[in-house]
Amino acid sequence: MNILSEFEKMDQLFTSFGGLEQGGITRLLYSKEWKAAVDQLIQIFEQEGFEVQKDAVGNISGRLVGMTHPEETVMSGSHIDTVVEGGHLDGQYGILAALIATKYLKEKYGQPKRSIEVLSLAEEEGSRFPFTFWGSKNFFNLADKKDVETIEDAEGVRFVDAMHEAGFDFRKDNKVRDDIKAFVEIHIEQGKVLEVEGKQIGVVNGIVGQKRYTVRLKGEANHAGTTPMGLRRDAVVAISEIVQTLTARAEEIGDPLVLTFGHVTPTPNTVNVVPGEVEFSVDTRHVDQKILNTFADEIEKTIRSVAERNQMDVDINLWMDETPTLMNDTIIEKVLNAAEKLADGNYKVMPSGAGHDSQIFAKHVPTGMIFVPSIDGISHNTAEETKTEDLIKGIEVLAEVLYQLAY
Q: For residue 196, give the nearest of 398, 369, 374 by alpha carbon.
A: 374
Fold match, 3-208+324-406 / 209-322: no
* Topology adopted by domain 209-322: Alpha-Beta Plaits (3.30.70)
What is the C-alpha separation between 105 and 407, in angstroms, rounded?
9
In the chain, domain spans: 3-208+324-406, 209-322
**125 marked ligand binding residue:** yes
Is 404 buried (19+), middle (13-18) or exposed (0-12) by CB count in 10 A? middle
Q: For residue 350, give the nearest of 200, 236, 160 by alpha carbon.
A: 200
Determine phi and psi for 204, rounding to 5 degrees.
-80, 125
pTM of the complete model? 0.91
96-155 residue pLDDT tens: 999 999 999 999 999 999 999 999 999 999 999 999 999 999 999 999 999 999 999 999
Q: For residue 20, give the nearest of 383, 391, 388 by alpha carbon.
A: 383
- The mean predicted confidence, pLDDT, of the chain is 97
pLDDT at 311 (0 to 100): 96
Q: Cα–Cα distances in Å, from 107 out to 143, 294, 389?
A: 38, 51, 22
Is 128 buried (19+), middle (13-18) or exposed (0-12) by CB count in 10 A? buried
56 and 65 in contact (C-beta within 8 Å)?
A: no
pLDDT at 21 (0 to 100): 93
pLDDT at 85 (0 to 100): 96
Is 2.10.109.10 the CATH classification of the domain at 3-208+324-406?
no
pLDDT at 226 (0 to 100): 97
**356 marked ligand binding residue:** no
231-282 residue pLDDT tens: 999 999 999 999 999 999 999 999 999 999 999 999 999 999 999 999 999 9
**90 marked ligand binding residue:** yes
282-327 residue pLDDT tens: 999 999 999 999 999 999 999 999 999 999 999 999 999 999 999 9
What is the C-alpha separation between 358 and 331, in angstroms, rounded?
13
46-56 residue pLDDT tens: 999 999 999 99
**85 marked ligand binding residue:** no
The mean per-residue pLDDT over the stretch 397-405 comes to: 98
Q: For residue 42, give the nearest of 119, 108, 98 by alpha carbon.
A: 119
**212 marked ligand binding residue:** yes
**255 marked ligand binding residue:** no
341-381 residue pLDDT tens: 999 999 999 999 999 999 999 999 999 999 999 999 999 99
**187 marked ligand binding residue:** yes
**232 marked ligand binding residue:** no
- What is the radius of gyration, based on Cα positions, of the chain? 24
